């Protein structure tokens, strides 16, 4: 939610800031803005809408400064507008700030400032923060760094901030609590980003600021980090970034989402590479090995996540219970954190998050840790907050996922979780070597089978054309493919704005069947597995009410094919691995429908890729 960029050095800041914002647009795209230090003044350019709108507006003016900060917004306080766009300038005109997060006590701070004569031009909490810092600076008669520190000790909420003073543009102050912030270290220049993508072409050396830390940045000086509360100095850890530029560009595809759907064979392969060893008939996951005893003796696993990551946890629930015979509970981060859950000493919490920044998942982790649980993280973004907050973990190696709708991150999560379920089954002595080996061998060929599913692209595009004007859709599945029905429905609603619901197929009779008529597309995930016969009956029930059935079936299907209106085939695989194949046609279906409806697939309305507010 919201992306921030900063630059201080000897180049022109504007192109660096704008390119950085474009890469961070996945974090929010309601409005954007830059502030540049030039001619002893702060030049601020802001516009509602996408970054290009602001860029055009700014380029008609002077953009020569070499210190600057910039922001792309996902509105929290105040609707999207030019006024509410960041950066925000303080009443004196000296300080300028961008902010990602929420200041929860902004109203009381605003009241205090109003009492002191401050005026406000936007509805944002950010404008309150910049003025509060100015107020503290005046009261204390101190430098900006100290004012930021003292002000932040009185702030309740989450923030990543980037601020400078027009009278001292040779220094930018940054601080973080709850929202991500990375500093890029160049030669005689520094960069700031909500993630590292804004400065990938300039440096691979980065410092991930931790919660409660702040730093002063000058073009040439060392980065000095201090704790906000205690003012104690902290030694920075410099990380070498592994990402390359190519991985965050569209590479000839119209949308990132399509590129990422097509990257799935590679993403799944990269996720199991070096871990899944079919020749040796084994799985090696260091994060798991480290805590092998804990997993062996676990009484229960609680999985926590949000959105699509929550769906991968639901898939894993089936697999962990089947193979490792450990009871699993799957919890939305947002619910878990606000309940008073019973967490016992032999429970393990697995937190799943693509971004590694989701506020509710993060809060659930903190709560579980405080209750004494071991927390294992599954994240896609190296160095992300969740990957640092958890005791152990396993990265998915999907590469940067930029399209807001999660695709390759989902299949990579399911891959990691499948390997974990198999390995835990082995550690706990729950299944035979031959079964274990058969699953390992089959998982190793899944990337090839995903490629095969992707060959149905044109067929799926045609089907999409027939249903693009639907107002509703139902998705049905059973067993390990019930979460795939949920995921298919989520994909459709989030990018095409068609109302869709996922159900366990048997639940249809308990209500949703009333919705079925000749206008209702019903997507049935019906691979040839243990639930097949029951799904055949479910398809017939839909057809008896004139619903239109789009079925995902296994190649060589003999029964569903007779009653469904359309079938999309997946190659034969073991039941436990079908989700990695059945989800692909559902991603493509939602993609094509959204494109045909003229939706911006990569930037669906009201959404943001990284939900760092609760």
Site residues for ligand F6R per CB under 6 A: 306-309, 353-355, 358, 361, 405-406, 490, 494, 611
Q: Which of residues 189 and 494 has its CB atom nearest to ligand F6R in the complex?
A: 494
Which residues lie below 8 Å from residue 65, measured CB to CB, with a gap of 6+? 12, 13, 14, 36, 37, 38, 43, 169
Considering the complex, what minimum distance in angstroms separates the CB of residue 302 from ligand F6R? 16
Considering the complex, what minimum distance in angstroms separates the CB of residue 523 from ligand F6R? 17
- CA–CA dist 71, 31 (Å, integer): 8
Q: Which of residues 409 and 424 has its CB atom nearest to ligand F6R in the complex?
A: 409
Considering the complex, what minimum distance in angstroms separates the CB of residue 358 from ligand F6R? 3
Q: Which of residues 362 and 542 has its CB atom nearest to ligand F6R in the complex?
A: 362
- CA–CA dist 547, 559 (Å, integer): 17
**Positive or negative torsion for Cα 377, 381, 386, 392:** positive
- CA–CA dist 529, 517 (Å, integer): 28
Give catalytic residue positions. 2, 609
What is the DSSP annotation of 332-357? EHHHHTTS-----TTEEEEEEESSS-
| Contact criterion met (CB below 8 Å) for 250 and 402 | no
Considering the complex, what minimum distance in angstroms separates the CB of residue 589 from ligand F6R? 14
Residue 26, SS3 per DSSP: helix
Q: Where are the beta strands (DSSP E) in 178-252?
A: 182-186, 189-193, 205-208, 213-217, 224-227, 233-234, 239-240
Phi-psi region of 497 (alpha: psi -120 to 50; beta: other; left: phi over 0): left
What does the buried/exposed string (b/e) look like for 58-71 if buried means 16 or more CB atoms within 10 Å of the residue's CB? Answer: beeeebebbbbbbb
Considering the complex, what minimum distance in angstroms separates the CB of residue 101 from ligand F6R? 16
- CA–CA dist 593, 610 (Å, integer): 24
- What secondary structure, in 3-state letters, does 360-399 show? HHHHHHHHHHHCCCEEEEEECCCCCHHHHHCCEEEECCCC
- Angle among Cα 139, 140, 145 to the nearest 5 degrees reads 120
CA dihedral of residues 393, 396, 401, 405 (deg, nearest 10): -90
Give me the helix-helix angle, 408-427 and 579-596, nearest 10°: 170
Considering the complex, what minimum distance in angstroms separates the CB of residue 607 from ligand F6R? 8
Q: Which of residues 26 and 269 has its CB atom nearest to ligand F6R in the complex?
A: 26
Q: Which of residues 164 and 591 has its CB atom nearest to ligand F6R in the complex?
A: 591
Q: Which of residues 63 and 312 has its CB atom nearest to ligand F6R in the complex?
A: 312
Q: Measured at CB, which residue is nearest to ligand F6R?
A: 307
Q: Tell me the sheet residues that pair with 329.
A: 302
Considering the complex, what minimum distance in angstroms separates the CB of residue 316 from ligand F6R? 14
Considering the complex, what minimum distance in angstroms separates the CB of residue 248 from ligand F6R? 16
Which residues lie below 8 Å from residue 590, measured CB to CB, with a gap of 6+? 405, 488, 491, 492, 495, 496
Cβ burial of 302 (10 Å; 0-12, 13-18, 19+) is buried
């Amino acid at each position: 939610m919201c992306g921030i960029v900063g630059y201080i050095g000897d180049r022109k800041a504007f192109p660096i800031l704008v390119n950085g914002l474009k890469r961070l647009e996945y974090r929010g795209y309601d409005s954007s803005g830059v502030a540049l230090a030039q001619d002893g003044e702060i030049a601020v350019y802001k516009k509602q809408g996408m970054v290009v709108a602001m860029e055009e507006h700014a380029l008609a003016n002077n953009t020569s400064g070499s210190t600057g900060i910039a922001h792309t917004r996902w509105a929290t306080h105040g609707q999207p507008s030019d006024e509410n766009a960041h950066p925000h300038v303080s009443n004196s005109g000296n300080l300028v700030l961008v902010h990602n997060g929420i200041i929860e006590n902004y109203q009381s701070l605003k009241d205090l400032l109003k009492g002191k004569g401050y005026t406000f031009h936007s509805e944002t909490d950010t404008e309150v923060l910049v003025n509060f810092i100015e107020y503290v600076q005046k009261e204390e008669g101190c430098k900006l760094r100290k004012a930021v520190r003292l002000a932040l000790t009185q702030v309740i909420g989450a923030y990543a901030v980037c601020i400078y003073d027009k009278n001292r543009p040779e220094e930018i102050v940054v601080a973080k609590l709850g929202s991500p912030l990375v500093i890029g270290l160049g030669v005689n220049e520094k960069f700031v980003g909500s993630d590292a993508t804004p400065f990938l072409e300039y440096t691979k050396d980065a410092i991930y600021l931790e919660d409660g830390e702040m730093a002063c940045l000058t073009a040439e000086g060392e980065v000095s980090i201090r704790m906000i509360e205690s003012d104690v100095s902290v030694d920075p850890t410099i990380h070498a970034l592994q990402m390359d530029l190519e991985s965050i560009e569209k590479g000839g595809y119209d949308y990132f989402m399509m590129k990422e759907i097509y990257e799935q064979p590679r993403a799944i392969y990269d996720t199991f590479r070096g871990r899944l060893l079919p020749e040796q008939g084994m799985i090696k996951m260091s994060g798991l090995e480290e805590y092998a005893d804990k997993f062996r003796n676990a009484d229960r696993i609680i999985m926590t996540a949000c959105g699509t990551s929550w769906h991968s946890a639901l898939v894993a629930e089936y697999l962990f219970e089947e193979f490792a015979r450990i009871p699993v509970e799957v919890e939305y981060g947002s619910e878990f954190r606000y309940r008073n859950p019973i967490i016992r000493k032999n429970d393990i919490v697995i937190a799943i998050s693509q971004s590694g920044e989701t506020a509710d998942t993060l809060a659930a982790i903190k709560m579980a840790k405080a209750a004494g649980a071991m927390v294992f993280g599954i994240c896609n973004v190296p160095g992300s907050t969740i990957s640092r907050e958890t005791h152990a973990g396993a990265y998915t190696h999907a590469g940067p996922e930029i399209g807001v709708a999660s695709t390759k991150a989902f299949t990579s999560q399911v891959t990691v979780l499948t390997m974990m379920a198999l390995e835990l089954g082995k550690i706990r002595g729950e299944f035979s070597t031959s079964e274990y080996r058969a699953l390992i061998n089959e998982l190793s060929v899944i990337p090839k089978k995903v490629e095969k599913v992707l060959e149905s692209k044109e067929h799926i595009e045609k089907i999409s054309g027939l249903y693009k004007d639907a107002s509703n859709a139902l998705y049905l599945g059973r067993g390990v493919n019930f979460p795939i029905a949920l995921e298919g429905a989520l994909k459709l609603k989030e990018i095409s704005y068609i109302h869709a619901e996922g159900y366990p197929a048997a639940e249809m009779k308990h209500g949703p069947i009333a919705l079925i008529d000749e206008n209702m597309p019903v997507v049935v995930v019906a691979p040839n597995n243990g639930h097949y016969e029951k799904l055949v009956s479910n398809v017939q029930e839909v057809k008896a009410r004139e619903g239109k059935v789009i079925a995902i079936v296994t190649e060589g299907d003999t029964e569903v094919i007779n009653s469904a209106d359309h079938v999309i085939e997946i190659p034969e695989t073991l039941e436990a691995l079908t989700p990695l194949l059945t989800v692909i046609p559902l991603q493509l279906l939602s993609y094509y429908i959204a494109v045909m409806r003229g939706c911006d697939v990569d930037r669906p309305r009201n959404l943001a890729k990284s939900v760092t507010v609760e």
